[in-house]
Amino acid sequence: MNLKRSGALLGAVALGAMTLAACGSDNNAASSGVDAASSNATCEGKANLSSAGSSAQKNAMDQFVSTYISVCQEKGKTVNLAYNPSGSGDGRTQFIASQIDFAGSDSAIKAEQAEQAKARCVGGEAWNLPLVFGPVAVAYNLDGVEDLVLNGEVTAKIFNGTIKKWNDPAIAALNPGATLPDQDITAIIRSDSSGTTDNFQQYLTAASNGAWTTGAGSDFTGGIGEGAKGSAGVAQAVASAPGSITYVEKSYADQNKLSAAQIDTGSGPVALSDESAAKAIEGAQFKGEGVGDLTLDLGSIFGTKEAGAYPLVLATYEIVCSKGYDADTSAAVKSFLTSAANEGQDNLAEQGYVPLPDSMKEKLNASVAAIG
């Protein structure tokens, strides 16, 4: 794909609040060995790009920015994208208000917010472009239990308060031979509006055989739990609270050295791994057809019964205007997303994410090229 735009994209990334949580430092691994000549990123457009939203994609965004800087430096350009991991809900709000160039969100923009975005995207609409896939761990802190197995129904009952003890018969039935303590379960939930919460609750709705009855949404609906803000907040809370459990992106679970439950979809327990998550993503379907909005049919992932597929995978979208940007902003947004969708995917697994399958990368590149 060749992007032909003019202008210069200048600046330097503000990394003060963007250090990689997974390694405690700037991610420079991707910045070495990047073949700029093979990149279709033009490095052209407005001087400063801005984005905000999903904390789940923060580590991936750091890598995308680092890689983009490297590509553009080799092309004689200095680039800037500042990303604020303020939460998916805040990102969508800022996007609608034209306070940022694009948003990161763990939930597709839809309904009333999608209508509101049309005023910002003059002559166009908001497109949801899946750029980052992150397995969500059902992470727990339980001494002596390293290979916990759960399924959708039992997980739903833990997070709606029906199952209160770790040695509950329903948990024991999934873990024969394990010594489960007579200990209260403390559910740690997101206190902020979160696409991770929305995706987790959509998973419970799809996979719990009716045990989850309170629906989905960016706010937790289960009626129990102790709240913590952000992905880092819930992971740190579980790390410091024996007997606790949460839902959090794999990168944050890894960072805090939390155990992650295996999930039994009916075809046997499946451990969370790059391979098992990728297997679920490869079976993903889209709600629409053709080039443009790429909102996923999440039921095709969350409800999978395929052996060896880990179903609890969060898709993070970049929400962009299909039309309505000025020429410089359009060029910069397209250039950055082109880099992120291609060379930016290299080494993502090291940050706890799953790189885009080739079939999805092809669709994403076509949609990015179609931005007006």
Q: Summarize the annotated binding site for phosphate as residue ranges.
A: 54-56, 88, 106, 194-196
Structure tokens at 285: 């379907």
Which residue ranges are tagged as binding site? 54-56, 88, 106, 194-196
Helix, strand, coil % in the chain, rounded to nearest 5? 35, 20, 45
Asked if 66 and 34 touch (Cβ cutoff 8 Å), the reply is no
Give the span between the Cα atoms of 368 and 337, in whole angstroms: 7
Element housing 52 (H / E): strand 49-53
Query: Of 298, 272, 259, whose CA–CA distance to 144 is shortest?
Result: 259
According to DSSP, the residues that pair with 139 across neighbouring strands are 246, 260
> What does the DSSP 8-state code read for residue 371?
-
Instruction: In whole angstroms, give the CA distance from residue 107 to residue 249.
Output: 14
DSSP H helical ranges for the chain? 58-74, 88-96, 111-120, 152-159, 169-174, 195-207, 230-239, 250-255, 274-282, 299-302, 327-341, 358-369
**Distances from the Cα of 122 to the Cαs of 127, 321, 324, in angstroms?**
13, 9, 4
- Could you give the 3-state DSSP secondary structure of residue 351? helix
**Measured in Å, how far apart are the chain's first and last C-alpha atoms?**
15
Question: How is residue 359 written in tokens?
Answer: 């079939």
